[in-house]
Chains A and B, each alone.
Chain A
Amino acid sequence: MTRKDVTVELRARERVNAMLFFAALVLFIFNFALGPDREKLREVAPGLLWLAFLFTGMLGLGRSFQAERENECFEELLLTPGDRESIFFGKLAGNVLFMVTAEALILPLFGILYNLDIWAYLPALALVALLGTIGFSTLGTLLAAMTAHLRAREVMLPLLLFPLTVPVILGSVRATEAILAGQGLGEVSHWLKLLGGFDIVFLVVSPLAFEFVLEE
């Protein structure tokens, strides 16, 4: 699993670059769309931040099984020693890693471009981001494996993933909002529990479902 993970990383360096550049562009475009009104921006900042995270994550997820499909080595992937679950967790670890890397760049850039003081809240924000990213990537990895075999796969992944991850999106955005407003982690504990619950449910279910998806 770890070996696969590393190869995926090496292979996909272009993916991380694309994700980072895309994330920076998203932040610019939001600014054009909303105008330079600082107060208004501050109000919608948590939502913007998560939109940037999710769009970037989606970009990465969409590519996560592309290499296998283009080189037609899905069968080889299945033949690798170890069970299907480790393939899933290997892919998942890669996806989470890419998304977290992108987030680590988006966050400071976001703070700078939108004049937000994020440094004081960094640990709390990181926790929320991690929980949200795990939930989003878990379902995302499963659905990416599924849509990799479809016609119109680029369209289908977001179409399926966004409605299913509404709890993650809502939870992360609300928690981020509260944190940026200066509230402690205790105030958002119910959102954190929801995010954690979502993560646990789908970390258990997705590897099981993954076996059905890969079956040929």
Chain B
Amino acid sequence: MEARTVVSSAPWVSEEGRGRFRSSATTKAFGAAAVIVLATGLTLGLLVVPPDAVQGQVQRIMYLHVPSIVTAYLAFAVVFCFSILYLWKRELRFDAVAVSSAEIGVVLTGITLATGSIWGKSTWGVWWTWDARLTLTAILFTIYVGYLMLRTFAEEPQAAARYGAVLALIGFLDIPLNHMAVQWWRTLHQPSSILRPGGPSVAPVLLLPLGVMFLGLVLLYLYLLSERVRLERLRHQTADLRLKRGRRG
């Protein structure tokens, strides 16, 4: 009985605090916008726009493949920034953003590898080849999977956050070095066709679904990120509550 009064007067279940258990309106808006924009993008990419002259229908996988990896890089940049913020300020909420972003980034990189593999099978004839960009993406994937594993093996959240932040720091610095090494080693991938000197080589009509899909994935990323951060926060609160109850005996 006594415990119950203490809990109900505690700030984390107050009327204001109760709101935190539910997604905020902004989060929901991101989710809804993501669904709409992605649906539009897919319709444009899969139905409206003409297929590629050489590669045929399979080229349409590009509309998922390219935006995924761009969004994944965005996610890893966020991991990097929030890891530095955490090391600087030492507040677990920054770390919550970093780990959430890393999880989404890993999923997006996985999607890129999978769609790329399917695309490669039909245009190059192989599922996998040790081309520069493929290798780089695979390395990126392993680094961030390692990041997530490292965190699960740490004894306490603060340690997980610190080790994770340090690893995110080195991992991000490692990307340009990996990029150079792998570039010199070999290159087979079709050259980047959008971000390149002299303007994009993709027909403008194809750029539209690409842009829409990219926007949609960023919205989806923001939605997932804010939901995941909320989950992380609830986890911290649960852990705190457990600790408090344990102390009371």
How near does chain B come to A179, taking the closest CB pair, in angstroms? Answer: 16
Separation of A31 and B170 alpha carbons in the complex (Å): 36
Separation of A205 and B171 alpha carbons in the complex (Å): 12
Cβ-based interface call for A213 (8 A): yes
Separation of A194 and B178 alpha carbons in the complex (Å): 10
CB-defined contacts of B180 to chain A, threshold 8 Å: 167, 194
Q: Which among B166, B171, B177, B184 is the interface contact of A213 at CB below 8 angstroms?
A: B166
Separation of A191 and B170 alpha carbons in the complex (Å): 21
Q: Which among A142, A159, A194, A212 is the interface contact of B181 at CB below 8 angstroms?
A: A194
Give the residues from 59 to 84 in chain B that come closer than 8 angstroms, CB to CB, to chain A: none
CB-defined contacts of A164 to chain B, threshold 8 Å: 143, 170-171, 174
B177 with A167: CB separation less than 8 A: yes
Cβ-based interface call for B182 (8 A): yes
With an 8 Å Cβ cutoff, the count of chain B residues facing the other chain is 28
A interface: dominant SS: helix
Separation of A191 and B181 alpha carbons in the complex (Å): 8
B178 with A201: CB separation less than 8 A: no
Give the residues from 133 to 191 in chain B that come closer than 8 angstroms, CB to CB, to chain A: 139, 142-143, 146, 149-150, 153-155, 159, 162-163, 165-167, 169-171, 173-174, 177-178, 180-182, 184-185
Chain A, interface residues (CB within 8 Å), range: 20 to 34
In the complex, number of A-B residue pairs with CB atoms less than 8 Å apart: 80
B185 with A198: CB separation less than 8 A: no
* Mask of A179-216 contacts with B, CB within 8 angstroms, 1/0: 00000000000110010011001100110010011010
A142-B170, A160-B146 known; A197 and B177 CB under 8 Å? yes
CB-defined contacts of A153 to chain B, threshold 8 Å: 153
Cβ-based interface call for A139 (8 A): yes
CB-defined contacts of B182 to chain A, threshold 8 Å: 166, 170
Cβ-based interface call for A156 (8 A): yes
Cβ-based interface call for B87 (8 A): yes
How near does chain A come to B159, taking the closest CB pair, in angstroms? Answer: 7
B177 with A212: CB separation less than 8 A: no
CB-defined contacts of B142 to chain A, threshold 8 Å: 162-163
A166 with B181: CB separation less than 8 A: yes
A170-B185, A194-B180 known; A213 and B163 CB under 8 Å? yes
How near does chain B come to A11, taking the closest CB pair, in angstroms? Answer: 26
A167 with B178: CB separation less than 8 A: yes
21 contacts between A and B (CB under 8 A): A142-B166, A146-B150, A146-B167, A147-B150, A152-B153, A153-B153, A156-B146, A156-B153, A160-B167, A162-B142, A164-B143, A166-B182, A167-B180, A170-B185, A171-B181, A194-B177, A194-B180, A201-B173, A206-B170, A212-B165, A213-B162
Beyond the given A164-B170, A213-B162, please list 16 additional residue pairs across the A-B interface where CB-CB is below 8 A.
Answer: A146-B150, A151-B153, A151-B155, A156-B150, A163-B139, A163-B142, A163-B146, A164-B143, A166-B139, A166-B178, A167-B177, A197-B177, A201-B177, A205-B170, A212-B165, A213-B166
Chain B interface (Cβ < 8 Å from any Cβ of A): 87, 139, 142-143, 146, 149-150, 153-155, 159, 162-163, 165-167, 169-171, 173-174, 177-178, 180-182, 184-185
